[in-house]
């Protein structure tokens, strides 16, 4: 297996904002891996840039603005001739997969799933319907699109072992089309992490545009925080998040110690100032950046089963896991006050980061998998008959629709 110099094209759903979203942090992990190999990287996106977008060009990455449903992308792709094309979530494969397959048939096509959107949607619907989640709910409209995109691609990166198993057991996807790759984090700096006495108050963080985060803030406001505040009347909850809407700002209440703080300029700083991170997530998918950051920066957490899903690797959790409001609050109060319990939780978090999220191990495993699939690409594709079939039918229908839209716009 030869690790030659390659050109990677990343088709982003949005321009990366690692200070705002976990999805952007994930994409930047891939970019760091490929840069370490000395590979050329082009990041292309049809979304508008904004002030928070990562300054990719200053990092030696070529950027390209592209247009949906436009043959100009084919011209761009013909000139670029990438060896690997990464679709940032399944929607990008839907939009551009057929163009990549037609123009660069020898390029490896990979989806970074970020999380299973069909799982997140099914859990959200179950919460709204006030009924228990069951796997039968997974067969929704999003799943029909998402699973088809996975089949059409050469390999899909899955961040959670729960979702890795689910894709095989429920949807019947061959693991040859999947690669499990958790976060790729640096080794925690345990020597400089503030201790129990140096930390004060509670915190939570998350992009307000992400619906599970907003639901968690509301649950904190309405049920959990009043229970904690009753026992710890001097404690404060600092809530950080990008794109703070007026409805979130309206929740700010200094008398209740419920403080909306807007975007955090330094996640490490706000994490290490707090004694405890709260993440009462009632639905969602993937693994949670806020909880990975909490472990990396030595901040124990209280979360739900969904929050901790895919984030333990069989090790003890870095805090407490509770799904009931009263039990959640009781766990937070106990962990906040018990120094020995807190220290044990902190060490558990360091263990998880050093084991499950070990940067070099996860990077090397991903690199080996990509090169292995690439070196036997034709045989790999021939063994995926469902993918061949879906590519044949989807690409034709999508191509005709896209060309019709382009002609209509012209």
Same domain, 300 and 379: no
Q: CA 179 to CA 176: how far, in whole Å? A: 8
What is the pLDDT at residue 1?
46
- The first and second tokens of residue 371, run together, are 């090169």
CA distances from 364 to 29, 34, 37, 85, 380 (A): 13, 11, 11, 19, 21
- Contacts of the segment 322-325: beta carbons below 8 A, 24+ positions apart: 325/219, 325/223, 325/224, 325/227, 325/280
Does residue 51 belong to any structural domain of this protein?
Answer: yes
Does residue 190 belong to any structural domain of this protein?
Answer: no
What is the pLDDT at residue 36?
95
Same domain, 228 and 97: no
Same domain, 390 and 332: no
Same domain, 211 and 313: yes
Does residue 191 belong to any structural domain of this protein?
Answer: no
Residue with tokens 């640096």: 186
CA distances from 373 to 66, 81, 125, 173, 197 (A): 28, 18, 37, 16, 50
Does residue 189 belong to any structural domain of this protein?
Answer: no
Same domain, 177 and 223: no
Range of the domain at 58: 7-184+359-409
Beta bridge partners of 155: 110
Give the DSSP letter of residue 298: T
Same domain, 275 and 319: yes
Same domain, 238 and 114: no
Domains of the chain: total: 2
Does residue 2 belong to any structural domain of this protein?
Answer: no
Same domain, 75 and 223: no
Q: CA 151 to CA 154: how far, in whole Å? A: 8
Does residue 394 belong to any structural domain of this protein?
Answer: yes
Q: Answer whether 0.85 is exceeded by the pTM.
A: yes
Same domain, 50 and 166: yes
3-state secondary structure of 307: helix
Q: CA 405 to CA 385: how far, in whole Å? A: 30
Question: pLDDT in tens for each of the 410 residues of the chain?
Answer: 456 789 999 999 999 988 888 899 999 999 999 999 999 999 999 998 877 666 787 788 999 999 998 899 999 999 999 999 999 999 999 999 999 999 999 999 999 999 999 999 999 999 999 999 999 999 999 999 999 999 999 999 999 999 999 999 999 999 999 999 999 999 999 998 999 999 999 999 999 999 999 999 999 999 999 999 999 999 999 999 988 999 999 999 999 999 999 899 899 999 999 999 999 999 999 999 999 999 999 999 999 999 999 999 999 999 999 999 999 999 999 999 999 999 999 999 999 999 999 999 999 999 999 999 999 999 999 999 999 999 888 766 666 666 667 777 77
Same domain, 143 and 236: no
Kindly report the CATH number assigned to the domain that includes residue 82: 3.40.50.2000
Q: CA 386 to CA 390: how far, in whole Å? A: 6
- Up-side HSE of residue 222: CA atoms within 13 Å toward CB? 8
Give the DSSP letter of residue 153: S
What is the pLDDT at residue 3?
61
Does residue 99 belong to any structural domain of this protein?
Answer: yes
Same domain, 140 and 22: yes
What is the pLDDT at residue 397?
65
Q: CA 57 to CA 99: how far, in whole Å? A: 25
DSSP string, 313-360: TTSPPSEEE--SHHHHHHHHHHHHH-HHHHHHHHHHHHHHHHHTTBHH
3-state secondary structure of 96: helix
What is the pLDDT at residue 395?
62
Same domain, 105 and 74: yes
Cβ neighbours, 10 Å, residue 199: 20
């Amino acid at each position: 297996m030869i690790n030659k110099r390659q050109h990677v094209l990343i088709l982003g759903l949005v321009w990366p904002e690692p200070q705002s979203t976990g999805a952007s942090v994930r994409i930047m992990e891939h970019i760091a891996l490929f840069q370490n190999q000395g590979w050329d990287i082009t990041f292309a996106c049809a979304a508008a840039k904004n002030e928070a977008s990562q300054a990719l060009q200053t990092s030696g990455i070529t950027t390209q603005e592209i247009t949906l449903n436009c043959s100009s992308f084919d011209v761009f792709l013909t000139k670029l001739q990438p060896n690997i094309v990464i679709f940032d979530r399944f929607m990008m494969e839907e939009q551009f997969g057929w163009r990549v397959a037609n123009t660069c048939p020898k390029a490896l096509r990979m989806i970074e799933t970020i999380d299973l959107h069909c799982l997140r949607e099914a859990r959200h619907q179950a919460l709204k319907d006030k009924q228990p989640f069951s796997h039968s709910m997974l067969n929704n409209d999003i799943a029909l699109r998402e699973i088809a995109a996975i089949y059409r691609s050469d390999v899909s990166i899955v961040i959670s072992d729960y979702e890795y198993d689910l894709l095989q057991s429920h949807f019947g996807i061959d693991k040859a089309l999947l690669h499990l790759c958790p976060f790729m984090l640096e080794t925690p700096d345990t020597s400089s992490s503030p201790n129990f006495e140096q930390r004060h108050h509670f915190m939570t963080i998350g992009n307000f545009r992400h619906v599970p985060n907003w639901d968690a803030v509301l649950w904190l406001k309405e049920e959990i925080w009043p229970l904690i505040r009753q026992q710890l009347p001097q404690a404060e909850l600092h809530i950080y998040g990008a794109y703070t809407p007026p409805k979130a700002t309206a929740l700010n209440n200094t008398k209740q110690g419920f403080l909306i703080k807007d975007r955090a300029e330094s996640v490490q700083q706000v994490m290490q100032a707090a004694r405890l991170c709260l993440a009462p997530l009632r639905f969602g998918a993937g693994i949670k950046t806020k909880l990975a950051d909490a472990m990396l920066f030595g901040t124990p957490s209280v979360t739900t089963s969904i929050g901790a899903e895919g984030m333990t690797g069989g090790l003890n959790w870095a805090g407490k896991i509770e799904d009931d409001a009263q039990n959640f609050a009781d766990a937070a109060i106990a962990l906040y006050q018990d120094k020995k319990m807190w220290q044990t939780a902190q060490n558990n978090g360091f263990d998880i980061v050093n084991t499950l999220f070990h940067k070099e191990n996860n990077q090397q495993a991903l690199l080996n998998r990509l090169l292995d699939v690439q070196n036997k690409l034709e045989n790999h594709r021939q063994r995926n008959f469902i993918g061949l079939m879906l590519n044949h039918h989807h690409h034709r229908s999508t191509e005709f629709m896209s060309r019709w839209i382009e002609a209509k716009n012209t």
